[in-house]
């Protein structure tokens, strides 16, 4: 999975776990709401500094934004040959 897709999924998940809108996250991180939206839609390629600002705002380790997102409950496991 592309790193921007991982960032997108993790950012959305962590933001929603806090019950925050994109506007809330934008306010907490000092970024613009449309920029948050662009990251979540994989349209923006944020710098490491921006990823750090998001992690600080979400009170999460920066790695939590970049690691493989957790698998959804009930998702079928891939078969290996």
**φ and ψ at 40, to 5 degrees?**
-70, -20
Which among 16, 13, 27, 21 is positioned nearest to 57, based on CA atoms? Answer: 27
- The pLDDT-based confidence of 79 (bands split at 50, 70, 90) is very low
The whole-angstrom separation of Cα 69 and Cα 26 is: 22
- Give residue-wise pLDDT tens across range 18-58: 999 999 999 999 999 999 999 999 999 999 999 999 999 99
The whole-angstrom separation of Cα 20 and Cα 66 is: 20
What value, to the nearest 5°, has the Cα angle with vertex 29 and ends 22 and 42? 50
pLDDT score of 74 more than 80? no
- The pLDDT-based confidence of 1 (bands split at 50, 70, 90) is confident
């Amino acid at each position: 999975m592309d790193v921007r897709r991982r960032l997108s999924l993790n950012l959305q998940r962590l933001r929603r776990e806090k019950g925050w809108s994109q506007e809330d996250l934008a306010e907490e991180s000092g970024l613009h709401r449309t920029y948050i939206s662009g990251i979540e839609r994989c349209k923006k390629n944020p710098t490491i500094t921006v990823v750090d600002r998001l992690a600080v705002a979400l009170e999460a380790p920066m790695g939590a934004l970049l690691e493989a997102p957790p698998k959804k409950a009930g998702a079928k496991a891939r078969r290996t040959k």
